[in-house]
């Protein structure tokens, strides 16, 4: 069974840092691109960024709103993806989800499995 479990959320002051983790199981983590998506309370989904697999050089990409402040990494030996968030702003307050991009023999698609999310609150 595919499972994604986020952790590491909490309360942090503006300008502070936080590192989220996404522990994966039930699939070949090393071969999958992993994405982070966030959702502020009462708002819509926002794509945050992704990291590709080793075969794709662990390439990363980020939304303009977080570029230069957030960094995505992964440890395939631990089946875990990370989201390092620096210089946090109040507008970064949201539930953060991790999800995978799955590729079958015929197609690739985002978000067939999601974690339960972890809440990040940026406030003084």
Q: For residue 75, which of 64, 83, 67 has the smallest C-alpha distance?
A: 83
Distance CA 86, CA 90 (A): 12
Q: Which of 12, 24, 34, 37 binds other proteins (CB under 8 A)?
A: 37
Stretch that binds other proteins, among 19-27, 72-80, 83-91, 115-123 (CB under 8 A): 115-123
Least Å from the CB of residue 103 to other proteins = 11
Q: Which of 25, 87, 116, 123 binds other proteins (CB under 8 A)?
A: 116
Q: Of 105 and 124, which CB lies nearer to other proteins in the complex structure?
A: 105
Site for other proteins in 83-112 (CB under 8 A): 97, 107, 109-112
Site for other proteins in 43-62 (CB under 8 A): 44-47, 49-50, 61
Distance CA 61, CA 71 (A): 9
Q: Of 80 and 115, which CB lies nearer to other proteins in the complex structure?
A: 115
Residues that bind other proteins (CB under 8 A): 35, 37, 44-47, 49-50, 61, 63-64, 97, 107, 109-112, 114-117
């Amino acid at each position: 069974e595919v499972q994604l479990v986020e952790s590491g959320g909490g309360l942090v002051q503006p300008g502070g840092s936080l590192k989220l983790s996404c522990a994966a199981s039930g699939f070949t983590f090393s071969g999958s691109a992993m994405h982070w998506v966030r959702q502020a309370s009462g708002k819509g989904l926002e794509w945050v960024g992704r990291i590709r697999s080793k075969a794709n050089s662990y390439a990363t990409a980020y939304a303009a709103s977080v570029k230069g402040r957030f960094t995505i990494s992964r440890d395939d030996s631990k089946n875990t993806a990370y989201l390092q968030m620096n210089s946090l702003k109040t507008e970064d307050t949201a539930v953060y989800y991790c999800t995978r991009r799955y590729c079958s023999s015929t197609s690739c698609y985002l978000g067939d499995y999601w974690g339960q999310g972890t809440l990040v609150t940026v406030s003084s």
